[in-house]
Amino acid sequence: MNFTVLVVDDEKNIREGLGEYLRLDGYDVSLASDGKEGLKEVESGAVDLVITDLRMPALSGGELLKQISSRYPSIPVIVLTGHGTVEDAVDAMRNGAYDFITKPVNLEHLSLLVKRALERKELARRNDELMREIENQKRVSSIVGKSPAIQRIFELVRKVAPTKASVLITGESGVGKELVADALHNLSPRADKPFIKLHCAALAESLLESELFGHEKGSFTGAQARKKGRFELAHEGTLFLDEIGEINQNVQIKILRVLQEKKFERVGGEDSLEVDVRVIAATNRDLKEEIQKGSFREDLYYRLNVVNIHVPPLRERKDDIPLLAQAFLQEFADDNAKAIEGFDPKARAAIYAYHWPGNVRELRNCIESAVVMAASKLISLDDLPPGVRKSADESVVRIPIGSSISDAERILIRDTLAAQGGNKSRTAEILGIGRKTLYQKIQDYGLEAEEPD
Ligand SMILES: Nc1ncnc2c1ncn2[C@@H]1O[C@H](COP(=O)(O)OP(=O)(O)OP(=O)(O)O)[C@@H](O)[C@H]1O
Ligand SMILES: [Mg+2]
């Protein structure tokens, strides 16, 4: 990256002489003959460092320095002072100058100062970037999970969040689609702008339209004042359209138009409003099927589905269950001020074996009620809802088509082990292999880390 140094001095010879020298040093240089011109240059956003004389017409160097240090504190300013004017130098330093240099200018000294100031600035910028990244990771981490499926989703979220691409999040109810939408917004450059959510299924058609696009006063009975719609409120930010599969054709056309033309009118209004909105939508329906049936517009589908993030059901990423269960246990134990440490082996096996048709939401509710029920430090089978409790006796190992023999062996061992609450002797017995062989396989498949005792 090439840095731009601005030299501000009313004396043409000095200005151009310094400029020439700095160019030889490899910087881009811009020149200004007074503070006012200099400030304009700084405001244009293209300046990395300023060297300024103090006494100038229009706007003095001292004034320029004050403006820059209050409005652009990351731009270092080096002040040129006359010989023997110590007060000027002190004043400048007090007002936020990076350093001062006396005239006549020692060019080598100046060159060194500029280099150091820019290095420090670059370091500060990198630090900021790093802090932002850590901040971001904290934000994403409200999504708990370590299965390959969730890892892939993390990766995808990181990749598409910074873009403006529309994202369609699909998956069964309760899998965490809304959390993914949150992460997409929080990791985007729009994070500080509005994040507006609309649950499309909850509203009747006429209300939905006015929620989305707003309405003018008197546009329908009950419209007593002008109201801004969600698209307007989300300007420069993100709009999350939840349950997009539930909206009718009429509203579909209108949303399509906003996506295509970035324009719309309030209900009962004539003026076109222009907005800059990133749209994220979610659905638990199979929209392809809805298109076949004629209930969802294909063109809208393609506009929304620029990137698809599919969140698989919990039963297809069982590796996440122990982690999620533990996270929810901690959350609710804290909420209820109960000192609960974990699950006893049978409870853990049942939670693991259960099919979780309601996905993470159901798991969360289950753990909440278990925490409330629990009478000891460990949650036991009796604390679990009946459906989950029953799965303890009817556990099945599911091996997806497409698995290799070694995949199958890994899943078989993993799930049997979990169903036995981590008891290796019993697991070896059930599998009909020696304990030593089991230990070896557990190590080979890296299962120890996944299902701790
Ligand atoms: N990976 C996860 N880590 C932590 N909590 C999760 C995770 N996935 C889902 N949850 C929690 O489960 C609940 C349901 O998640 P969410 O509302 O995002 O699901 P959804 O897919 O939007 O469901 P629906 O289709 O019913 O709207 C929420 O309380 C959410 O915080
Ligand atoms: Mg949801």
Are 391 and 207 contacting, i.e. CB atoms less than 8 angstroms apart?
no
Q: List, for residues 435-450, the tens digit of each pLDDT value.
A: 999 999 999 998 875 4
Indicate the pTM of the whole model.
Answer: 0.64
Question: Looking up tokens 């110590």, which residue turns up?
Answer: 86
Mean pLDDT of the chain: 89
Domain at 315-390: CATH code: 1.10.8.60
**CATH level 3 topology of 141-312:** Rossmann fold (3.40.50)
**Residue 290 zone, left/alpha/beta (φ > 0; ψ -120 to 50; rest):** alpha
Q: How far apart are CA 416 and CA 422, in angstroms?
A: 8
| Ligand 1 atom closest to 144 (CA) | 3
- Domain 141-312 and domain 315-390, same fold? Reply is no
pLDDT for the residue numbered 220? 77
Q: What CATH homologous superfamily does 4-125 map to? A: Response regulator (3.40.50.2300)
Q: List, for residues 350-398, the tens digit of each pLDDT value.
A: 898 899 999 999 999 999 999 999 999 889 999 999 999 988 766 678 8
Non-local (6+) Cβ contacts of 280 within 8 A are 166, 167, 168, 169, 181, 184, 185, 238, 239, 240, 241
Measuring CA to CA, which residue among 39, 79, 82 is closest to residue 58? 39
* β-sheet bridge partners, residue 30: 6
Which of 147, 169, 173, 179 for mutating ligand 1's site (highest number of atoms within 8 Å of CB)? 179
The number of residues in the chain equals 453
- Two structure tokens written together for 394: 């009817």
Q: List, for residues 230-268, the tens digit of each pLDDT value.
A: 999 999 999 999 999 999 999 999 999 999 998 999 988
Distance between Cα 176 and ligand 2 center (Å): 7
Nearest residue (CA) to ligand 1, atom 29: 361
Q: Is the CB of 147 under 6 A from ligand 1?
A: no
Is residue 451 over pLDDT 60? no
Q: Is the CB of 149 under 6 A from ligand 1?
A: no
Between 18-32, 184-198, 312-326, the lowest mean confidence (pLDDT) is in: 312-326
Give the pLDDT band of residue 146 (cuts 50, 70, 90): confident
**Average pLDDT estimate for 415-429:** 82
Measuring CA to CA, which residue among 397, 330, 409 is closest to residue 368? 330
Ordered by start, the domain boundaries in the chain are 4-125, 141-312, 315-390, 405-444
Sign of CA dihedral 34, 37, 40, 45: negative
Judging by DSSP bridges, how do beta strands 28-32 and 4-8 pair with one another? parallel
The rounded percent of the chain whose pLDDT value lies above 70 is 94
pLDDT for the residue numbered 121? 86
Q: Does domain 405-444 have CATH number 1.10.10?
A: yes
Is residue 123 over pLDDT 80? no
Q: Is the CB of 178 under 6 A from ligand 1?
A: yes
Are 281 and 168 contacting, i.e. CB atoms less than 8 angstroms apart?
yes
Are 325 and 351 contacting, i.e. CB atoms less than 8 angstroms apart?
yes
Return the SS3 of 152.
helix
Q: Is the CB of 143 under 6 A from ligand 1?
A: yes
Q: Compute the C-alpha angle 364/367/373, nearest 5°.
A: 145
pLDDT for the residue numbered 58? 83
Between 23-32, 235-244, 296-305, 423-432, the lowest mean confidence (pLDDT) is in: 423-432
